[in-house]
Structure 1
């Protein structure tokens, strides 16, 4: 069943400029994501992340995305961004997720790559360690990025799955496909990055607005 417009949580991830962040906030995004991962075209350094976080404060939940961070990187993220939530997008084990959550002292969301139904077997262990799970398309073999590859997974693998409260759907969502994704999965939280870009890392304000409108059925 499609989530109501009021209950749907929308996250725009990989924002890197004041203008595109403003577009996401003006469109009504609930969460904004700042990526700190040098190999990503969406990477922002700590000075930029600090300024963008300040811009979004009070208007949206601020998420910092890290990939297999050590304690020093985590501490730097907390100092610069003061995030409402830490998103982990690497190969962190459930034990490491728990350690990061304790050190950060704030909620943690763990991204899990999904390709087939067999990938759902990891969900219970991570659900116990994290506050939320983000189900993303599994990166293709040889990909340099763990996410943001513009790919969707087969949403039908989620049919009948026992998914934890608050799970978030990601992976290849676009203004053109998000309504179908919501209808087929019953997701109440969604994340988009490459689907609102004109080129890798280049957010397009018109597509951000179109995505939020389509997701909310406007």
Structure 2
């Protein structure tokens, strides 16, 4: 239930956006995709301003909303800019989840899984994605050297870490539909798992997800 605009139209006329609603500044190919999903699951009205990357980077217009120019960026209904996925999720759930759709019966477990996704799985995923992308933006022969380095890092580090992570998460998920059991629970823990499915090296992504059939189906 979004009122969608572009940065240009949003600055030209306030009538495009509805007052008194949260506004998500969404950058394509970024973590803000999760925020759209959460807002839709909450079933609330919100404003959505879309930005496209320029040469792989966020456009300067995002910095007009917040000095860091980052996405996801949520401007609350009260007009306060909020960055960082975890902070945005906390605000949305505490403010709009009145029905308790994302409530959990085991807060400690949810916090553990959320921390695991961000602190343990996230950096490994970041390394893999960085080394996957970097050669394509580097001149030869640097690109060839980087691909060799990527292969060594994958062989000696990231593949094993992904496999351990998937086995752990598969045990946590079990036969349940959600990590929380009967309900969605703490949504912060889902980002790292979904991002593994987005790793461009299909052999590592598919191989790791096969290690844990449960989260492979979930993703």
Question: Could you state the TM-score of these two structures normalised by the residue count of structure 1?
Answer: 0.29
Greater strand share, 1 or 2? 1
Answer 1 or 2: which has greater helix percent: 2
In our comparison, the structure showing a higher alpha carbon Rg is 2
Q: TM-score, normalised by structure 2?
A: 0.29
